[in-house]
Chains A and B, each alone.
Chain A
Amino acid sequence: MKRYDIVIIGGGPAGIAAAIKASASKKAILLIEREARLGGILKQCIHDGFGLSRYKEKLSGPEYAEREIEKLASSNIEIKLLTFVSKIIKTDNGYQLSLITRQGIEQIVALKLILATGCRERTGKQVAIHGTNPSGMLTAGSAQYYMNILGQMPMKRTVILGSGDIGLIMARRITLEGGTVVGVYEIKREPSGLTRNLIQCLDDFNIPLFLSKTVTRVFGHDRLSGVQVMKVDEKMTPIQGTEEYIECDSLILSVGLIPENEIAETLSVPLNQATKGPFVDQGMETLIDGIYSCGNALHVSDVADMVSETGELAAESASIENHGNRNLVQIKYNKSISYVVPSHIDFTKPLDKIICYFRSAACLTNQILKVVADGVLIKSIKYKQVRPPEMERLFVNLSNIPIPNTIEFSLEEVA
C-alpha cells in the first residue's frame, strides 16, 4: 500500500492551491480528482472576474484554473485524475483510502487529509417547488455545463429563481446566447449576489429582478410550459391570492450551495451548522487532528481567490509536524454576524497573521467590527456597509496575548 504524508481530495481551486503550497514541504503529496481534468467548477465558468485579488487581473474561470495548474505542473507532486474516493477508514496512524480508477481499485494510506471537495447545488425539491416534474428545471450549474461545456442550450425563454451569483451570471449568459430571461425571482427582500454581478449581469442587460417573490409550482408534463410565482411575507411564506402564471420553457435554480462534507461525516468530523462545513482553526484543521478542510467544502466563498487562499492555509499547516495537543479556543460572535471562519483558534499554531472571514447576518450600515479577547480589544474595523452576500476578510494578531478564555467578534453600529 502506497503511503503519503498528505492526500488532498478534490482538484478544484482549493485543492490545487493546497497542492502547490504543500509541495514546498518536500513531503509525499497526492492530489486526487474524480474528473478527467483539474479545475473543478472553474472549467465551466467562462465569465470573467476571477483572480482580482490573487492575480490583480480580471481572468475567466478557465484562465484562473490554467494559471493555478501551471504552477502545479512545476511542483512535481503526484496527481491522480479520474479517481474516485470510495471509502476512507481511520487506521492507527492515519487513513486508508479506497480509490476507484480506470485501472482498478487501489488502496493507499494517508497521514493527513485535506478535504477540498467543493459544494453542490440545492435542488428545486429542496426548496419545495411543487407541481409536475418536467424537463427544463435545472440548477444553474447544470445549465452552465450544458451551455459552456457541451455548447447546448437547455432553454429559450427562462425564469431564474434565486439571485445568487451563479443565477445572475447565468441570466447574462443566457441573454448573450439569444435566450430570453423573463426575470430573476428572489424570495428574500435583498438580492443574494455580489453587487458587481447585480449591475453587470442584470442592470446592463435590462433583466428584471423581483424581490420577495418565489416560484411555487411548475407546469408542463414532458417539458416545462410555465411556472407560478407568488409574493412572500416576512417569514418567506407564500401569500395566498398573489399567484401569477409565467409562460416559459425552463426554470433555472440558483437557490443555494451546500458544502459537500459526506466524506468528512463518515470520518465523524464535527460540522458547523452556520457554514455547513467543518469547524476549523486558523490552519483549517478540523476538530479531528490531521483532517483539514478548505474551499467551498469549508464554507461557500464569494470568489475563487478566497477558495485558493483557504487551500493554501490548510496545506501550510498540514505541512508542519504536529507537536503535542492542540489548544483550541472557540470564537464567539454576536447576532449581527452569521458566521466566522475559522471557528476556533489553536494557540499552538502561528498566531501573528490569522486570516478571518465573516459574513454579516443582515444588510447593515455604519458598523464597527470589534475583536475582543478576554475583554481586551484586539482589533476594530469600521464598515460603511456590510451585506450577507459579501464576505469580509481581515487579519487578526493574537500572538502577543496570554491564551484567553474567550475570543469574541462583534458587529455594532458606530456610536
Chain B
Amino acid sequence: MIEGKRYDKIMSEFKSEFPTIDLSFYDGCVFLDGQLDDYEQIVTAGYLAARLKSEGVVNRIKLTNYIEPKMRTAPIVDKTHDGQHCDVLIIGAGIIGCAIARELSKYNLNTIVVEKENDVALHASSRNDGVIHIGIDLKTSTLKHHYLRKSVPLYQSMCEELNVPYVNRGQLVLFPQRSLRPLMFLFNRMAKKRHIQAGEVWNRKRLLEEEPNVGEVARFGMFFPEGATICPYETVIALAEHAIENGVRFFMNTAVLDMEVNGGRISKVMTNRGNIYPRYVVNAAGTFSDKIAAMAKDQTFTIHPRKGIEAILDKKAKARAASRSVSMYRGSSERKKDHTKGGGIIPTADGNVLIGPTAFETPERENFETDSASIKALFAKHHDTLPHIAPSDVITYFAGIRAATYEEDFVIKTGKWTKNIIHAAGIQSPGLTAAPGIAIDIVKFIEQLEGVPLPINKNYQRRRRAGQPLAKLDDATRESAIKQNPDFGHIVCRCEEISRGEIIDALHRPLVVATLDGVKRRVRAGMGRCQGGFCGPLVTQIIHEELQMPYKEIYKKGYGPIILKATKDDAYEAL
C-alpha cells in the first residue's frame, strides 16, 4: 500500500470523483461499495482504487437498473457426483485448470476438475489468438512477467509430450517512423532485462525480402525470434486428456453454486450435480474467479470482464499475409487506451490467418456476441500492416472475454482468510503462455499447505496417447493407417481433409464431447471455409450411428439441439 502524500492525493481524487462511493480498508484490501449509473465509471473507480497498491481491490459498486445475468449452467440438476471426496478440486477447465490437473496427475492424489460447460476451454482459453508471447512489454515486477518467463522454456517440450503443434516463427513488429530506428537499442535493453533473445532490426529492403506483403508505411521492422503460436483449444483438450490418462477425473456440466466454509476452511462445495468434499480447492474459474473467491469467503480481487473480437481468415489469405505474427508499433498512448498488446495479424498453428483482437469493458462475463463494427474496426486498424488482406477473406469470427483485475495482474496465491483455497485467477493475456509455470507453482502451494512432499504417481505416463491428423502425415504412414482402418481413407470434411476414421476416433477419446462442436474442436471437421456446410450433417450422422444416439439428442454445442423433429418417425432408420 502506498503511503503519505501520494496516498492522500489518490484518496482526495477518489472522494471528489466518486463522492457517493464508500471506500473502506480491511486487512490490506480495498473495498468499494455504492451505486453508479455508468458502467465505465465503476471501472474507473476500480482502477483509481488500484493505484493505492493494496493487496487487491474488491469493487462491489452496483450498476443502476442492471441485473447481472445469472451464470449459465447446464440444464441438469442431479446427484451424480454427490458425496465425492477428493484431495484437490479444481474449479474450471480452461488452460489454467487443465494445466494444473495435468501437473497434479504426476502425484498420487485424488484430483477432480469441475467444469460448468460440456467441454474444456470454452471461454477465454479457446477465444484468443493462440500466441505464445515473449512479453517484452510486461513490467518485470508483475506476476504476468514472472510466469511468462517461467513458462516459455517449458512450452515446446510440453507440446511435444502432449503431441500438439508448437509453431515457432518469431514475431515481427513494424515501425512507421524511421526516426524510431535509433531507439531500437532500448528495445534490446528491455529484451535483455527480461531474458528475451535480442531482436534483429530489418530495414525496408530486408523486410520486403522476408515479408513482401507488409504495408507501404512500414519503414523498418524489429524481429524477435522467440514468439510462437499454438492451437489453444487443441492444447487444452490435450492437457485434459493427458490428465485423464494419468488418473484425474473431469466432471463436466458441473457448476459450483456455493460453498460451506467453517473455521477458515472450505468443507463442502455445492454443485448442480451434488456436493463434493475436497481437502483443497483450486480456483481457476476465469471470469467467474472472483465469484468463486467470494463463495470461499476469500475475495481480495475483482474481475472486470474485457471483451475482444477476432476474425479468422481463409487459409488462402496466407499468401497475402505474412509468414509470422506481424503488428504495427502503435506507441504507448494508443496501447494504454485499448488495453491490448495492440493485436496483430497472426498465422495460426492450423494454417489460417487470424486478425485481432479488439478490447472493450463489459459487465457481462459470458456474452460472446460479435458485432460488425468490431470487425470493421479490426480491418481498419490493421490495414496498414498487411494491406492485401480483406474482409472478404473472413470465414468466421468470435468473441472472448478476458478476466481482468483492477491490478491488471494475475492472482496466484493461497487463500488469505480461507486456508484451503489456492487462487489461479485474474488470468488474461499472457495467460495461455503462463499456464505451465502457474501449474507448477499451484502444485507447490498445495505441497506447502500439506507440509510434506506429495506422493509421486509411479504410473505417470509422460506422453499423451494421441494420433496425428492424417492429412499431416507422410504418404507412407498415411497409407499404412488406411490399410489398418479404411475409414481413415474416407474423407468427410473436404475443406480440412478430415477422415471418417478420425471423426469416429474423436468419439472415443478420454474426454468425449459428442457434439458437432466437440468433434470440430478435436479434429477440425467443420473448421474450414465452408464452415461445416457440407460435413455438418455427415458428422451428425456419424455421431448418431457410432454412439447410437437419437438425432434429437445430438447437439451443435452445449444444449442446442440440431434436429427439432423427424420428417417422418424414424425416417432415416427405415432406409
Measured CB to CB, the residues of A under 8 A from B are 34, 82, 84, 86, 98, 100-105, 120-121, 123, 125-126, 128, 130-136, 138-139, 141-142, 145-147, 149-156, 177, 216-217, 220-224, 249-250, 262, 265
Contacts and interface: CB of A to CB of B under 8 A. Distances in A.
Given A123-B395, A133-B398, A134-B556, A139 B491 contact: no
Which of A104, A139, A149, A265: most chain B CB closer than 10 A? Answer: A104
B372 A152 contact: no
B427 to A, nearest CB: 23
A126 B564 contact: no
B537 A34 contact: no
Top 9 A-B pairs, shortest CB-CB distance: A151-B571, A222-B560, A135-B560, A135-B556, A102-B486, A84-B491, A223-B560, A222-B558, A145-B537
A192 to B, nearest CB: 18
B566 A153 contact: yes
Contacts of A155: 564
Interface of B: 72, 316, 368-372, 375, 394-398, 471, 475, 478-479, 482-483, 486-487, 489-491, 494, 497, 499, 516, 529-534, 536-537, 540-541, 551, 555-568, 570-572, 574-575
Contacts of A142: 532-534, 536-537
Nearest to B563: A152
23 contacts: A82-B490, A84-B497, A86-B497, A100-B482, A100-B499, A101-B482, A102-B486, A103-B489, A125-B397, A126-B394, A131-B370, A135-B556, A135-B562, A146-B540, A149-B537, A150-B540, A150-B541, A154-B562, A155-B564, A216-B372, A222-B555, A223-B559, A223-B561
B555 A132 contact: no
A135 to B, nearest CB: 3
A105 B482 contact: yes
Contacts of B551: 150, 152
Contacts of B572: 150-152
B475 A123 contact: no
Given A121-B533, A152-B571, A135 B561 contact: yes
A132 B489 contact: no
Contacts, number: 146
Nearest to B574: A151
A389 B575 CA distance: 36
Contacts of B574: 151
A86 B499 CA distance: 12
Given A86-B497, A221-B558, A128 B479 contact: no
Nearest to B489: A102
B560 A100 contact: no
A125 B395 contact: yes
A269 B563 CA distance: 40
A188 to B, nearest CB: 18
Contacts of A100: 478, 482, 489, 491, 497, 499
Contact of B567 (A101, A128, A147, A262): A147
B571 A130 contact: no
Nearest to B541: A150
A153 B560 contact: no
Nearest to B483: A104
Contacts of B567: 147, 151-153, 177
A132 to B, nearest CB: 5
A27 to B, nearest CB: 28
A304 B72 CA distance: 48
Contact of B563 (A82, A128, A154, A265): A154
Given A104-B489, A147-B567, A135 B533 contact: no
A56 B571 CA distance: 32
Contacts of A222: 555-560
Given A126-B395, A265-B316, A121 B557 contact: no
A298 B537 CA distance: 26
Contacts of B564: 153-156, 249-250
Nearest to B371: A130
A233 to B, nearest CB: 15
A331 B532 CA distance: 37
